[in-house]
């Protein structure tokens, strides 16, 4: 089975949907998405979108906060681009029907860690769900956009798939193969331009705020085809996910307790009720996420505790219920009344700062291939993402990419060759040993959580590198096994884990989210992105 389209978008979170709506003005867009169309990291975002609106705020301050958080690795041009384009793109979202929270008619602004001003536009504590709802409504009524749910992109189509050309100097992308899970077949999607918008990687860790779709597929797919990657060692752990004393199924998502609570006055305490953040940073509980996550990790290890507490009781019941209705309800469902009780929290893998390297328009190192959102490394986040800058980054880069794609489509700059083969599954058979897949998935999560977490060391990273050799075993299994989504995800998770470990080993210093007990200091020598080029490996 094959189909042709002008632009193929892989993923239906904020990056994919906002790009598609703009690109549909000049082309036909096909979106493939792994599960139901709303299932994405975007759908779970709570806090909101950082943007300069308040009269006491300025672009300079937002830029300064972002650079400080990024620990020397942010690209200033990328940071300026997201900050300066924020306000008008927030207005566009409002025009598309997104209903942000207001107070006395004006947008209500929240504050989060690392921000020197109140600048988080939000829809109560369900911002992502509201954005996703409005974008999907517009996408589903647009005749130029086709959405294919339950289609998992497997790999890109490039010269390597053609019979005619092998090992070219310049790699062109002509679309992708996607596994249609409901009909159990592989679709060949031929497109002039392809845009990877597949989100993050949280599922390679045992404890993550990310939903089950976040297995790093797009980054792995891009890398296999020759894309350059950057800064894969910088995995952000959110300091506060709800601690629930139970064994979780292997791909369960930890419930996030938004940073906005700390912005509203919540403080972290040890289990015996003592505040501890002032020992680590003068900003206390509102210090940037890497510092808070490390402090919690340290307190838990030192005291042998499984969690710490977040105390927001001082805000009062009516404000808590009004500002955080969703979090309040979820906590209450397990017997915690936030107005009276402290909330048990633990850090969880949350956001990938690295990804496929892109320029200021989302272009990758492959011709005809773009990357947007969490799967990209644009230079905005550097070594650590400032809270609520990621939805903003996705919006702004989608807008820029849509503009350059318009020129390329209108000038008919990309021709697809006629000899693109359909997917060949000869020589593969149904696996009988499904237990192997579940076992390998858990093994990867264990390796990454135990050895490549918040605090790293050479010993742990080298051990992780040795253990992740199951990757080669998996490649052999993959080549002779009929495709399933689980198998595709497992293959990608193993590759992503390997790439994170390799990048972490290259960075012999502690910077931002990468903290090594062997190299606890910053080093000028490493004041640069960690680039991994598949063609040079
Ligand atoms: C709990 C939580 C709270 C957050 N809160 C905030 C916040 O307040 N502010 C903020 O700025 N950021 C927040 N973030 C981060 C932010 O939500 C994400 O970085 C952002 O939504 C990423 O958008 P995206 O479009 O790049 O990816 P996603 O929204 O994750 O979308 C990825 C899409 O790709 C699809 N996909 C994946 N693999 C494949 C494949 N192989 N084939 C086809 N489709 C595929 C998925 O199904 C999905 O549709 C939060 C994240 C989480 C998890």
- Taking the CA atoms of residue 100, residue 102, residue 107 and residue 108 in that order, the dihedral angle to the nearest 10 degrees is -100
Give residue-wise pLDDT tens across range 411-444: 999 988 888 999 988 888 877 667 778 889 999 9
Could you write out the DSSP letters of every residue in 139-204? Answer: HHT-TTEEEETTEEEEEE--GGG-SS--S-SS-B--EEEEEETTTTEEEEEEEEEEEE-----GGG
Mutate to test the pocket of ligand 1, among 20, 42, 241, 399 (most ligand atoms within 8 A of CB): 42
Ligand 1 centre to CA of 163 (Å) is 36
Ligand 1 closest atom vs CA 350: 53
**Which residues of the chain have a pLDDT value below 70?**
164-167, 245-251, 432-433, 536-537
Task: Give the number of the atom of ligand 1 that is nearest the alpha carbon of residue 112.
Answer: 8
69 C-alpha to ligand 1 centroid (Å): 21
> Alpha-carbon distance 441 to 275, whole Å?
37
pLDDT score for 399 = 98
Distance CA 267, CA 324 (A): 16
Catalytic member of 289, 294, 363, 385: 289
- Ligand 1, atom 2, lies closest to the CA of 45
CA–centroid distance, residue 211 to ligand 1 (Å): 9
Tokens of 26: 């000049």
Asked if 16 contacts 147 with a C-beta cutoff of 8 angstroms, the reply is no
Q: Give the position, in ligand 1's atom list, of the atom nearest the Cα of 122.
A: 8
Helix, coil or strand: residue 223: helix
Q: Whose CA is nearest to atom 14 of ligand 1?
A: 45
Alpha-carbon distance of 172 to 175, in angstroms, equals 9
Phi, psi of 5 (to 5 degrees): -150, 165
Tokens 């620990």 sit on residue: 71
CA of 138 to the centre of ligand 1 (A): 19
pLDDT digits (tens, 9 = 90+) for 341-399: 999 999 999 999 999 999 999 999 999 999 999 999 999 999 999 999 999 999 999 99
**Residue that is written with structure tokens 């008008």 in the block:** 88
Residue 526 Cα distances to 36, 244, 514, angstroms: 41, 39, 12
**pLDDT attached to residue 166:** 63
Structure tokens belonging to residue 316 = 């009062």
CA distance 452 to 205: 9
Region label for 124, one of left (φ > 0), alpha (ψ between -120 and 50) or beta (otherwise) = left
Which residue ranges have their beta carbon within 6 Å of ligand 1?
A: 10-16, 32-35, 39-42, 44-49, 127-128, 152-153, 197-200, 209-210, 213, 217-218, 256, 351, 373-375, 388-391, 394
For residue 376, the CA-to-ligand 1 centroid distance in Å is 12
* pLDDT tens-place string over residues 149-196: 999 999 999 998 887 666 677 899 999 999 999 999 999 999 999 999
Cα(272)–Cα(335) distance, integer angstroms: 19
**Which pLDDT score is estimated for 171?**
92
Residue 537 has a pLDDT of: 64
Sort 246 into a burial class: Cβ within 10 Å, 0-12 / 13-18 / 19+: exposed
- Does the active-site annotation cover 385? no
Distance CA 381, CA 429 (A): 43
Closest residue to atom 51 of ligand 1, CA basis:
45
């Amino acid at each position: 089975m094959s189909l042709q389209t002008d632009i193929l978008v892989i993923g239906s979170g904020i990056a994919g949907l906002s790009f598609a709506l703009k690109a549909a003005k000049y082309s036909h867009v096909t979106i493939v998405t792994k599960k139901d169309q709303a299932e994405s990291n975007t759908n779970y975002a709570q806090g909101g979108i950082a943007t300069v609106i308040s009269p006491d705020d300025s672009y300079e301050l937002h830029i300064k906060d972002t650079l400080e958080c990024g620990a020397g690795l942010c690209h200033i041009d990328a940071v300026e681009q997201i900050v300066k384009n924020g306000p008008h793109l927030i207005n566009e979202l409002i025009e598309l029907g997104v209903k942000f929270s207001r107070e006395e008619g004006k947008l209500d602004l929240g504050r989060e860690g690392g921000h020197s001003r109140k600048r988080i536009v939000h829809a109560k504590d369900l911002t992502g769900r509201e954005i996703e709802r409005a974008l999907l409504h517009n996408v589903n009524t647009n005749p130029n956009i086709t959405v294919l749910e339950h289609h998992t992109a497997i790999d890109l189509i490039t010269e390597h798939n053609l019979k005619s050309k092998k090992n070219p100097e310049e790699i062109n992308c002509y679309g992708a193969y996607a596994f249609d899970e409901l009909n159990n077949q592989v679709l060949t999607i031929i497109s002039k331009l392809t845009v990877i918008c597949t989100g993050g990687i949280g599922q390679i860790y045992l404890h993550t705020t990310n939903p089950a779709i976040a297995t790093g597929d797009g980054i792995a797919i891009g890398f296999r085809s020759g894309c350059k990657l950057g800064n894969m060692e910088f995995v952000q752990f959110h300091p506060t996910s709800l601690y629930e004393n139970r064994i979780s199924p292997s791909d369960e998502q930890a419930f996030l307790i938004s940073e906005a609570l700390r912005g509203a006055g919540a403080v972290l305490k040890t289990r015996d009720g003592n505040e501890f953040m002032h020992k680590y940073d003068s900003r206390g509980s509102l210090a940037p996420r890497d510092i808070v996550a490390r402090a919690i990790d340290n307190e838990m290890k030192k005291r042998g505790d499984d969690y710490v507490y977040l105390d927001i009781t001082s805000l009062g019941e009516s404000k808590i219920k009004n500002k955080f209705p969703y979090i309040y309800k979820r906590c209450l469902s397990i017997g915690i009344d936030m107005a009276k009780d402290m909330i048990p929290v633990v850090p969880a893998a949350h956001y990938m700062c690295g990804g496929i390297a892109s320029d200021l328009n989302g272009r990758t190192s492959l011709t005809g291939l773009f990357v947007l959102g969490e799967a990209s490394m644009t230079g905005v986040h550097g070594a650590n993402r400032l809270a609520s800058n990621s939805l903003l980054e996705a919006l702004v880069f989608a807008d820029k990419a849509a503009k350059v794609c318009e020129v390329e489509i209108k000038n008919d700059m990309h021709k697809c060759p006629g000899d693109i083969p359909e997917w060949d599954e000869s020589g593969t058979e149904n696996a009988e040993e499904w237990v192997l897949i579940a076992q390998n998935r858990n093994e990867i999560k264990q390796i990454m959580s135990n050895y490549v977490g918040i605090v790293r060391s050479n010993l742990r990273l080298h051990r992780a590198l040795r253990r992740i050799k199951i990757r080669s075993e998996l490649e052999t299994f993959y080549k002779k096994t009929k495709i399933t989504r689980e198998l595709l995800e497992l293959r990608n998770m193993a590759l992503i884990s390997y790439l994170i470990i390799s990048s972490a080993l290259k960075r012999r210093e502690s910077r931002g989210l990468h903290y090594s007990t062997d190299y606890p200091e910053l080093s000028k020598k490493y004041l640069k992105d960690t680039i991994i080029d598949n063609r040079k490996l």
